Amino acid sequence: MAPCHDSRCTAARLPDPRGELSAAVVSALRSGGPHRLPDPATAPEDPFGDDLQLALYVLYELHYQGFEGVDGECEWDPGLLGLRGVLEERFLSALRTGVPGAPTVDEAMSGLLVEPAGDDGTSVSHYLASEGTLRQLREYAALRSLYHLKEADPHAWVIPRLHGRAKAAMVAVEFDEFGAGRAESVHARLFGELMDDLELDTSYGHYLDASPAELLATVNLMSLFGLHRALRGALVGHFAAVEVTSSPGSRRLASALRRTGAGPAAARFYDEHVEADAVHEQVVRRDVIGGLLSCEPHLEPDVAFGVEATGLLEDRLAGKLLPAWRTNGSALRGPPATG
């Protein structure tokens, strides 16, 4: 049998803790015995902070690839699930407080549908296209690898929770994300090839310790929405926000990679998204959202919330990355990205 060269063939190692909460979670998973978990009342106050976001990320990852040496049965451990539920409530409450609260999808998406004429100083892709260095592009790829090496997986959770036109359209978009039946075209694999061109380590989860809380929150958001049927509308809103903004952003990132001399596989990943996501945007808005709300119109505020929560966390991430890069610093925790 031929060996597996996919980044997902092996599990990541457990990360270094960032506080008492994440230390307790990591220790419980590493021990493999009865799980001693902290009193949820003692969880960190900052719902967007490193300790809580890392703990939540680790608990979510049990539903994806898991971790090296961690028993797969931990995925459904009652104590871990109970703790996760408390952390989710804190995260979700902070998100609801932090967004404007548009009542309709059109209002929530109004700003996304108009491409700005230029860089307003808050756009990561605009900055990378015009000023970004190869080092900064490598950092960006290292951070985004926590999602892109499992691209589309969190959104697949919503498929059993949709039906009719919404389900058919969602499956059609996901089919493209998973390579349309061709392993070599799976988007997660294309991102691994991008990382290889940038001389980054392509191992799944390799850059978890280097990723700040602002990045972890963007990945946790997808898992939060995807793992709860009650938040299916919010996941559709998140997916719509991603697809609407992906094509123009991908065009800028492809341009940045070519300008800085990255290899052809690096640009290919974003070239693929320029074309594919321009089509996906229309399908998601017309058929996924349209189909969902034709059957369940009461979910419109949830779809709007998903759009706005996505924007909130992406803005927070930009606020972390851009000041560091503009002062020639690193946006990573620890040393700059290396292979």
User: Nearest-CA neighbor of 57 among 29, 94, 36, 99?
Assistant: 29
Query: Given this model, what pLDDT does residue 100 score?
Result: 95
- Please state the domain count of the chain: 2
| pLDDT average, residue stretch 192-196 | 95
| pLDDT average, residue stretch 276-298 | 88
Residues 6+ apart with CB under 8 A from 201: 195, 207, 338, 339
Domain of 242: which CATH number? 1.20.910.10
Distance CA 105, CA 126 (A): 26
Helix (H/G/I), strand (E/B), else coil: 282: helix
Residue 112 inside a domain? The answer is: yes
Residues 6+ apart with CB under 8 A from 185: 179
Amino acid at position 58, single letter: V
My answer on whether 88 and 216 are in the same domain is no
Question: 278 versus 63: which is more confidently predicted?
Answer: 63
My answer on whether 63 and 109 are in the same domain is no
pLDDT digits (tens, 9 = 90+) for 310-320: 999 999 999 99
338: pLDDT strictly greater than 50 = no
Determine what percent of the chain is predicted with pLDDT higher than 70.
Answer: 92
pLDDT digits (tens, 9 = 90+) for 176-190: 889 899 999 899 999
Residue 337 inside a domain? The answer is: no
CB contact at 8 A, 25 and 87: no
**Full domain range(s) for residue 78:** 15-98
My answer on whether 80 and 110 are in the same domain is no
Distance CA 78, CA 76 (A): 6
Strand partners of residue 67? 12
Query: Given this model, what pLDDT does residue 114 score?
Result: 67
pLDDT digits (tens, 9 = 90+) for 205-244: 999 999 999 999 999 999 999 999 999 999 999 999 998 8
- The secondary element (H helix, E strand) that includes residue 81 is helix 78-98
Domain end (from 77, 98, 119): 98
The pair of structure tokens assigned to 141 is: 């790829």
My answer on whether 57 and 181 are in the same domain is no
Residue 1 inside a domain? The answer is: no
My answer on whether 47 and 138 are in the same domain is no
Q: Crossing angle for the helix pair 164-177 and 232-259, nearest 10 degrees?
A: 30
User: Nearest-CA neighbor of 216 among 156, 127, 270, 145?
Assistant: 145
Domain end (from 66, 98, 130): 98
Residue 332 inside a domain? The answer is: no
My answer on whether 73 and 128 are in the same domain is no
Distance CA 238, CA 128 (A): 23
| pLDDT average, residue stretch 324-337 | 85
My answer on whether 190 and 302 are in the same domain is yes
Distance CA 192, CA 181 (A): 18
Query: Given this model, what pLDDT does residue 132 score?
Result: 96
Domain end (from 98, 131, 163): 98
pLDDT digits (tens, 9 = 90+) for 12-61: 999 999 999 999 999 999 987 556 787 777 777 799 999 999 999 999 99
| pLDDT average, residue stretch 136-158 | 97
Residue 282 inside a domain? The answer is: yes
Distance CA 326, CA 306 (A): 30
My answer on whether 232 and 310 are in the same domain is yes
CB contact at 8 A, 105 and 286: no
My answer on whether 174 and 53 are in the same domain is no
My answer on whether 175 and 33 are in the same domain is no
Query: Given this model, what pLDDT does residue 339 score?
Result: 43
